[in-house]
Amino acid sequence: MGWWSETVLPRVMARTTENRVVDRERRQVCAGLTGRLVEVGFGSGSNLSFLPPEVTGVWAVEPSDTAWRLSDGARSRAGIPVVRAGLTGEHLDLADGSMDSALSTLTLCTIPDLPRALAELRRVLKPSGALHYLEHGVAPDAGTVRWQRRIEPFQKRFVGGCHLTRDIPILLREAGFTLEATSAAYLPLASVSRPWSYVYRGRAVR
């Protein structure tokens, strides 16, 4: 990881993705999580305060040491064990079928080899387990998609490899998941933010 991605970006992300609008989404996507939870792209631990009491422990996967340090306070307040279980979603050092649930928020856009990471998540989930996801992705209207395609090369370069046009539901289905309780909508933000604010939320059952 370069200096920008390792040191600056985690702080920028923590500032820009912790707000009333996104927190409401976080609360909804975390509802129903249970037991042993693997979270990919753990970041600065922004989801910890929204986890239901049925979650008994978190196995956090996060490449950035800065983000991990930024999560110190949230981890110490969590009241459940939170361990750093790995550095990349593409290689989970967890046993097959060992996790009850999985969580990814604003991360599937960034993981370089997403099919591999999704296959890893399916591998470590129990047969009844589900991945709860909250992800921005390709917009439904051609005008916004044109802007997403224009901006995407810069976004990937300066925002840690983040893609704007990933079709999250299709990618999840291609990985073998069955989607439930899905929603897709623009966040209630200024229209200039539309290339970034079309958000897919749901449960992807193993």
Ligand X SMILES: C[S@@+](CC[C@H](N)C(=O)[O-])C[C@H]1O[C@@H](n2cnc3c(N)ncnc32)[C@H](O)[C@@H]1O
In the complex, the residues that contact ligand X under the rule CB under 6 A are 13, 17, 40-41, 43, 46, 61-64, 67, 88-90, 105-107, 110-112, 160
CB of 43 to ligand X, least distance (A): 3
Task: Give the long-range contacts of residues 51-57, CB within 8 A, separation 24 or more.
Answer: 51/78, 51/80, 55/80, 55/101, 56/80, 57/81, 57/82, 57/83
What is the greatest pairwise CA distance in the chain? 45
Q: Which is nearer to ligand X, 110 or 155 (CB)?
A: 110
Strands 125-136 and 178-186 come out as unpaired
Q: Which is nearer to ligand X, 1 or 205 (CB)?
A: 1
Whole-number Å distance between alpha carbons of 122 and 107: 16
Residue number closest to ligand X, CB atom: 43
List alpha helices for the chain, DSSP H.
3, 9-16, 20-30, 65-70, 72-77, 114-124, 142-158, 168-174, 194-197
Q: Which is nearer to ligand X, 89 or 202 (CB)?
A: 89
CB of 111 to ligand X, least distance (A): 4
Q: Which is nearer to ligand X, 85 or 130 (CB)?
A: 85
Angle at 134 between CA 82 and CA 60, to 5 degrees: 15
Q: Which is nearer to ligand X, 38 or 139 (CB)?
A: 38
CB of 17 to ligand X, least distance (A): 4
CB of 13 to ligand X, least distance (A): 5
CB of 173 to ligand X, least distance (A): 21
